[in-house]
Each structure stands twice: as structure tokens, then as C-alpha cells.
Amino acid sequence: MPSVLPRIVVAALLLLTLPLSLEALEASNTSPSQDAPPGLVRQLQVRIENLSRIVDELAGKGFDVGAILEAITRAKDTLAKTPPMRGEEARAVAQVMTVLQRLERLLSRIGEIIEERPELAGQSIEILNSIEAIYARGDVNSLAVSLLESGRGLVDDALSPGLDPGQAVSLLSRARTLAMAARQVIEGGPVSLKVSKGGDSEGGSNTEVNIAHILTTSQDIKVYQSEERTSYENETIVVVRRTIISVGNMTIIEREISRTSDGNGVPGLRAMEFTENVAMGAVIGLKKGAGNRVNVEKTEFDVSLEGFSTDANIIRLVLSAPDGTPGRLLVVDIDRNVARGLLIKEVAVRLDGKQVQIAESITDILHGNPQEPKYFIALTGSGIQLVIYVPKWSTRVITIGAAAAQAFYFPVAELAGNNVQWLATAAATAVLIFIVFVGRLRRVKTRDIYHMGVPDSF
């Protein structure tokens, strides 16, 4: 699965990064209950005037910067309409600082695009403008943020020096689709969304999983997002968010970490990587139900779960996709109660009876041999998460469990259908009896030969 550009994009989270200009506010010992320094307000007005001049020039050259101009106008109006009351002005100043810092970064990037890749400037600026328009709404949720930041990352990669023009246009097209999908998520467009929650309340950890299928006018978007929020006694909250996004036949994997302490956001990190010719096929959740029964929650995109079973040590999944379907990722979430009940300690994965190689990180799955299956395992607040890559499709059998428990396990779904578990167990039992019988026969024969005086070298 060679990626288009095997590199990782790492950026500060825009919504959680404190503006650098706030240092001036803090240095003046200004708190939300105090007035903002008059000089600081004037500095912001000057910055707004400079940004307005730059945006007007871009608009005069025919670039789509309407949303950026609206954001600047809104920041200007906020300062003008805020009454000079204790606390109110300081809060307004902090909000305007955040907006201006984001816009300054954005316009700086636009300047680089115009200078370095003028042939792609129009499309790139249009997409970045649409992303800014969505952020300006102020009600962007985590699912939409992941889509928008993935789109921004694809724009950055499309502008990489030396990239084939066709690939660049393809990346920009997908970036535009991601922005469109984010808008649909916020505005309630054609989106199929599943939300499930779990975690360990005693350990202060909560997990929320969002699975979305977004139907845009150009390409379907499939999203799996797992957000684990852990609270500590010192009132610090750490959020780890893992997101897998499929845009057509491209998959993007993101990982975000952020921290909030005493109500203040601390700058977080977002890592993004993507690859072509692989998409998400299905998401399968296993949870403990009534009477120790294991229930399955499944989301099938183009891979179907035909059957499943469990015994004391093994989870067995029978999956299928049309012959010729290229590589697909499967996400399997195993609730800790299921894992504990199945005595799963050292998790191993087999595909059609053959051991699957484990990857050191989830992004390693994207850059390995596209003909070899791989899997990645992560411990979460709610249990175990597996991401499994299967390169070829027809009907496949995946078993999950301790390696020792799978030693005599024979998946024969093609022959047995839903009776595969019984036949597999019977086959394993027969093999075990055969091994014991042959071993006993060999010992008896050896002892008889020894008594006949045959040399040990025989």
C-alpha cells in the first residue's frame, strides 16, 4: 500500500492552541474581571486593518476569500460593539486574538501558495476559504474538525514541490470533498451516524465512538472516530482521539492528543498520514450482553459480516466482499468484559488459519507490503481495539485470541457455513487424538525394537 506521499503532517490543534498574543495580555496582569489595556486594543485594530488590506488585494485578483473577509469584519465589529465594561472587553479581546492569529497563519500560507505553486493557487485558496467559512460558524464538533483538518492536510500535500500535477489535482479534489462532508455533518445533510459510549467510570476514563457514512455529491466518506477522555485528580483532562477517514479509495489516519488543565486548553498535536488503494471495509463492535452473551454491533461498508462465534479463548469472524475487492481495513472493538470473559491476554490474529503479522503502529499498516495482511492493537479505556488489513477478498475467516488457543483451529467457512465452529472443533479434536495415538504407537514400536537388540542409530 504505497502512499502518495509517505510523510506525516504534524500541526498544533487550532481550537486548543492559546494565541501567542495572549502573552501580552497575561504580562499586563489582566484577568477576565479586569479591563483590557487600551494599547492592546489599538494593536488589534491595526492588525485587522492590515489583514483587511491583504484580503482586499486577493479579492481584487479574483481569489475566493469571501469567508476570510467575513471573519475579519466580524472581528472588527466585535471590538467596536463591545462596551468598555470590566471583563467584557477583556473577553472580547481574547476572542479576537484567537481569530486574528488563525487568519494571519492562513494568509501567510496563501502567500506561500501564490509564490510557489501559482497554477494551484486558485483551487487551494478556494478550499482553504471554505474551511474557514465552516470554522467561522463556531459550532464545529470533533467529527467535523477531523474532516476539515484532513482536508487542510491534503491541500498541504498537494502543494508539495515536485508532486505530479495529476496527483496534486486529485488531492485537492478530495480535500474539497472533505470540506463538503464537514458542512453536511454540521448542517444535518445526508449523514448516517452511529454513536456509542463506554469506558471505566472508576478509572475516570470515558470512550465515545462515532461511525459515520457521509454521502457527498462526488464521493462517499466513511469515518471511524474513537475519543478517549481521561480525568485525573488534579482536574487535568487528557483527550486521545483516533480517526480513520476513507475518501473513495484513499484512507487517512489521524491521531490527536490534547490536554486541558484548570479549564485552560494546552496546545495539542495532530498527526496525519494517508495512502491510496485502501479503504475502510467494516467496523465491528463486540460487547457483553445479558446472560454472558456476546452481542455484535456492525457497520458494513463494502465488507459484510456473514457470521461470528466465540468460545472460551477465540473470537471467530466470517467476512465477505465481492471477488476482486482491493485491500480493506477492518476495525474491531472488543469490550473489556468480552476480552476478560474469553481469557484473552496475548492477542493474536489469524486470517484463514495463517498467523497475521503485527504492526508497530497503525500507520505501519498503510506502508507495508500491499499483498500481506497486518494488524495493529491498542488498549483503550473500554477494552481492545484492533485495526486489521486484509489485502484480497472473497470469503475470509478471521480468528482473534491467544496464539496457543488457535494452534489447532481450522477455519473452513467455505465448506461449512455457519457450522464452521463445530467442524473446526471436531477437526482439532481428531488431529489431537491422532497425534496422541501416533506418539503412543511410536513408543511401543521403539520399545519392541530395542528388546530385539537393534542398534540405537536405527
pLDDT of residue 127: 95
- Regions of the chain with pLDDT less than 70: 1-38, 82-89, 199-203, 262-267, 312, 341-345, 403-458
State pLDDT tens for residues 166-217: 999 999 999 999 999 999 999 888 899 999 887 665 657 788 899 999 999 8
Q: Give the integer Cα–Cα distance in Å for 342 and 105.
A: 51
Q: Which of 319, 323, 301 has its CA nearest to residue 398?
A: 319
pLDDT at site 39: 72
Q: Model's pTM, two decimal places?
A: 0.76
pLDDT score at 266: 63
The predicted structure's pLDDT at residue 361: 85
Q: Could you give the CA distance from residue 176 to residue 127 in angstroms, rounded to a whole number?
A: 6
Residue ranges of domains in the chain, CATH in brackets:
279-407 (2.60.40)
List pLDDT tens digits, range 161-170.
888 899 999 9
Nearest to 224 by CA among 439, 88, 69, 378: 378
Q: Measured between alpha carbons, how far is 44 from 88 in angstroms, rounded to an integer?
A: 16
DSSP 252-278: EEEEEEEEEETTEEEEEEEEEEEEES-
What confidence score (pLDDT) does residue 202 get?
A: 60
Give the pLDDT score at 283: 97
pLDDT score at 177: 96
| d(C-alpha 254, C-alpha 273), whole Å | 7
Q: 10 by DSSP, 3-state: which?
A: strand
Q: Are 406 and 399 in contact, with CB atoms under 8 Å apart?
A: yes
Confidence (pLDDT) at 343: 62
- Residue 43 φ/ψ, nearest 5 degrees: -60, -40
pLDDT of residue 192: 92
**C-alpha span between 149 and 182 (Å, rounded):** 10
Whether 119 contacts 60, CB under 8 Å: no
